[in-house]
Amino acid sequence: MSTVCGFVERIKYRNEDNGYTVLSLVNEGKEYTLVGNFHYISEGEMVEAVGAMTEHPVYGEQMTVETYEIKAPEDTAAMERYLGSGAIKGVGAALAARIVKRFKADTFRILEEEPERLSEVKGVSEKMAMTISQQVEQKKEMRQAMMFLQEYGISMNLAAKIYQEYGPRLYGIIKENPYQMADDIQGVGFKMADEIARKVGIFTDSDFRIKCGVLYSLLQATSSGHTYLPEDELLSQSSELLKVDRSLIEKHLMDMQLDKRLVIRETEGRRVVYASQYYYMELNAAKMLHDLNIRGQMPEGDIQSKLLKLQKEEKIELDDKQVKAVVEAVNSGLLILTGGPGTGKTTTINTIIRFFESEEMEILLAAPTGRAAKRMTEATGYEARTIHRLLELSGLPGDERSVGMHFERNEENPLDADAVIIDETSMVDINLMQSLLKAINPGTRLILVGDVNQLPSVGPGNVLRDMIDSQCFNVVMLTKIFRQATQSDIVVNAHKINGGEKISLGKKSNDFLFIKREDPNAIISAIITLVQDKLPGYVHANIFDIQIMTPMRKGAMGVERLNTILQEFLNPPSEDKLQKEANGIIYRVGDKVMQIKNNYNIEWEVRNKYGIPVDKGTGIYNGDTGIIREINNFAELITVEFDESRLVEYSYKQLEELELAYAITIHKSQGSEYPAVVIPVFSGPRMLMTRNLIYTAVTRAKACVCLVGVPEIFQEMVNNETEQRRYSGLKDRICEINHLS
């Protein structure tokens, strides 16, 4: 073991999550490179470190630090170096030199005990003197706090957030009510707070613990799409989570309602419980939908005659329901247009756009995902954006708490348009719908387009279905399959699936193939052959554009197993491909990966052939797929290229946001379209093997669907009408407001 002592000249790299740091330490003109985990450190500080000296093949000699201690600067040169390093705001090198020249070796005692004397130095006011002193003390306090929080297993990054939120108060909060952190700090959930409380010795029947556990149960339910839970289910789930009797939980519900943390309502003869923010999201959305739903003044005869002229000019022929959709779009503040594949939704939207154009109306188009927006642009010839871009998401890039993240377009700064058309509305959850509605003034037409038989949104709510089921809005459902579409077995069989009809899987088809295999390994072998050899030439696409989709994450045909196997065949390891293992996943240069959570503030850029950035922005969203282009083990960064050549750098701590995407769940395919899809068909949980799941998968294919597996299981899925019940109250809120008006 070696010992070195010196001042931190430069921090070369720091992982704020675990404190892993690479820094240069200077002592008497000699520079050392130190690597290790440092609780909290800044440039200019004095450090005594103990560790092993090693020879890195690329970066040369460095010390791997075992233990270290931050010391107060002992000589005047070290004091001057620390004060002038930038660690203290407002103190540069020149001022640091004047302070040390005035107080010499007594400088740090003066800073801590007599800070007012700093005003004796030229250029330092009394106010500035106190600010400098406070900063020195705060840095000392922060170091102590970080070390204290580390004892409870809290990461460096989270410890910094906790200190920023509470300052010196954090000691009392940790010891008395750590559950407060779950309310105040993003990244601290109930389970982390509960583990800290256990270490501190807080009782399991603590009021703080029970109330936090109830909210945790409700917010966990939102990850399954629910906006509320029936009271009985909430009590059962909370009791199991907290390991306390239901009666102890029940008595707190009324108090939490009085504190406005819960809303309790009566629905279908039973009490239901909302986390208050979700109740008010539904209520506000219902009110805004009602306000948009107003009638226009244009006589229907005028619309019909203009439409006939438009059809002749564009050489299109509309059926009765499509004509009705155009008429309602012109004369309705709110229209829902729904229908399956091949029923003419795109033709109808295009006709509506042309009609609005002829009236010199301003039109905006959007969809929930980048892929869906790109498809909408291709289908209409008009620029379509993601809803997030339409609403001008804004904030502070790099701030992981998303502090300040908000939409610039809202009730105070609404969208400047006569009509807004949203595609793939089945994917829109209650959070995004509320934000969209805030940005649309009554008088602006809102046209919502979607297939109600698709899977519902990943986020909470059942927005499109609730709106249709309320029977309070104009809904046009297209049902006729057009002649051109009838030539596609994908379209014909999708409608058969939706109707629960039997499909002849032995029929020869150009675009709907079923390959019979009984054994899981035989299914995987057939899938690899299809993706590697057969399909790329058949659909004129590369292997990364062909998507394998499966109902489940776990099991023989689950995403996790499939991706591990497919990676070995489609992107095998080689000496010229760097890789990084994290969270049990190997990430390799050339891998296809998917973003699995919305990250509104991650930065992307587009570079020209010389590597110079030509465009930049923020935001990568749940379901976006890309290819790993570079892995930098020294900087701990992985570069991923997404659609439209957008390059994003992920630090290793962000890899939990990425997973391999050779195979994805059918849920993750929503809003996307692929040249070909390959679907393994094998036994799985009945709640997943449903009609709307296989319907969604089949309708994702543009040119070819290949199902591989057991025919009987495919038919069981077609017959299984059960859908996982979603607890959502938007329909009730809409009906209540409609009744009151």
Does residue 222 have a known ligand-binding role? Answer: no
Of the segments 96-105, 163-172, 359-368, which one has the largest average pLDDT value?
359-368
pLDDT over 60 at 681, yes or no: yes
Give the length of the chain: 741
- Per-residue confidence band for 273, with pLDDT thresholds at 50, 70 and 90: very high
State the amino acid at position 60 in one-letter form: G
Pick from 51, 62, 71, 60: which is nearest to 24 by CA?
Answer: 62
Query: What residue has token string 């990943």?
Result: 458
User: Residue 109: which residues within 8 A CB-CB, separation 6 or more?
Assistant: none
Q: Where are the beta strands (DSSP E) in 502-563?
A: 512-516, 547-550
**Per-residue pLDDT tens over the stretch 169-184:** 888 888 878 888 887 8
Mean pLDDT, the chain, rounded, equals: 88
631-662 pLDDT per residue, tens: 998 888 999 999 889 999 999 989 999 999 99
Structure tokens at 171: 């000691």
Is 625 within any annotated ligand binding site?
A: no
Q: Percent helix, strand, coil in the chain (nearest 5)?
A: 45, 25, 30
Q: Is the dihedral of CA 510, 512, 515, 520 positive or negative?
A: positive
Distance CA 282, CA 438 (A): 13
Q: What is the pLDDT of residue 403?
A: 46
Residue-wise pLDDT for 295-346, tens only, equals 877 888 888 889 998 888 888 889 999 999 999 999 999 999 999 998 999 9
pLDDT score at 687: 83
Contact 115, 130 (CB under 8 A): yes
14 close to 25: Cβ distance less than 8 angstroms:
no
pLDDT at 401: 40
The residues that bridge with 625 in the sheet, in sequence order, are 594
Residue 402 has pLDDT above 50, yes or no: no
Q: What is the pLDDT of residues 491-506, one digit of tens each?
A: 999 999 999 999 988 8
For the stretch 17-66, pLDDT in tens is 667 888 898 887 788 899 988 867 777 778 888 999 988 776 788 998 88
Compute and round to an integer the Cα radius of gyration of the chain: 30
Distance (Å, whole) CA 493 – CA 488: 9
Report d(CA 675, CA 111) in Å as an integer: 68
Q: What are residue 665's DSSP bridge partners?
A: 550
User: Distance between CA 178 and CA 464 in Å, rounded?
Assistant: 39
Quick check: 328 and 338 in contact, CB under 8 A?
no
- Report residue 218's pLDDT band, with 50, 70 and 90 as the boundaries: very high
pLDDT at residue 224, as a whole number: 87
Name the one residue in this structure whose structure tokens are 């197993």: 561
Structure tokens at 531: 């993706």
677 neighbors 549 (Cβ within 8 angstroms) = yes
396-409 mean pLDDT: 58
Least confident of 88-92, 189-193, 256-260, 448-452: 88-92
State how far the Cα of 557 lies from the Cα of 348, in Å rounded to an integer.
39
Task: Please check if 346 is assigned to a binding site.
Answer: yes
345 is in an annotated binding site: yes
Judged against a pLDDT cut of 80, whether residue 486 lies above it is answered with no
φ, ψ for residue 20, nearest 5 deg? -60, 125
Q: What is the pLDDT of residue 229?
A: 96
Percent of the chain with pLDDT over 70: 95
Q: How far apart are CA 546 and CA 533, in angstroms?
A: 12
Contact in structure between 175 and 154 (CB atoms under 8 Å): no
| Neighbouring C-beta atoms of residue 599, cutoff 10 Å | 20
Residue 658, C-beta contacts closer than 8 angstroms, at least 6 positions apart: 587, 593, 594, 595, 596, 638, 640, 650
The upper half-sphere exposure of residue 552, i.e. CA atoms within 13 Å in the direction of its Cβ, equals 17
Q: How far apart are CA 654 and CA 344, in angstroms?
A: 42
CA distance 340 to 486: 13
pLDDT tens string 571-594: 999 988 999 998 889 999 999 999
How many angstroms separate the CA atoms of 50 and 44, rounded? 19
Residue of higher predicted confidence among 458 and 435: 435
Query: Is 343 annotated to bind ligand?
Result: yes
DSSP result, 148-170: HHHTTT--HHHHHHHHHHHGGGH
- For 393, 436, 461, 646, 694, the CA distances from 389, given in Å and listed in that order, are 6, 11, 22, 15, 31
Q: Give CA–CA dist 444/332, Å, rounded.
A: 10
pLDDT above 80: residue 400? no
391 within 8 A of 408, measured Cβ to Cβ: yes
Above 80 in pLDDT, residue 207?
Answer: yes
pLDDT of residue 741 exceeding 70, the answer is: no
Q: Tell me which long-range contacts 606-612 makes (C-beta under 8 A, separation of at least 24).
A: 606/644, 606/645, 606/646, 606/647, 607/645, 607/647
Q: Which of 414-418, 627-631, 671-675 has the lowest mean pLDDT?
A: 671-675
Return the ∠ at Cα 91 (arms to 86 and 92), rounded to 5°: 70
The C-alpha torsion from 411 through 416 and 422 to 425, rounded to 10°, is 0
Mean pLDDT throughout 374-390?
91
| pLDDT of 603 higher than 80 | yes
Output the CA torsion 648→649→651→652 (10° steps).
80
Q: What is the pLDDT of residue 398?
A: 39
Contact 518, 647 (CB under 8 A): no
409-447 pLDDT per residue, tens: 999 999 999 999 999 999 999 999 999 999 999 999 999
Angle formed at CA 384 by CA 382 and CA 389, multiple of 5 degrees? 145
Domains of the chain, CATH where assigned = 2-145 (2.40.50.140), 289-485 (3.40.50.300), 501-719 (3.40.50.300)
Convert the pLDDT of each residue in 334-346 to its tens digit: 999 999 998 999 9
Of the candidates 727, 736, 680, the residue with the CA atom closest to the CA atom of residue 270: 727
Which contiguous run of DSSP H or E holds residue 430? helix 430-438
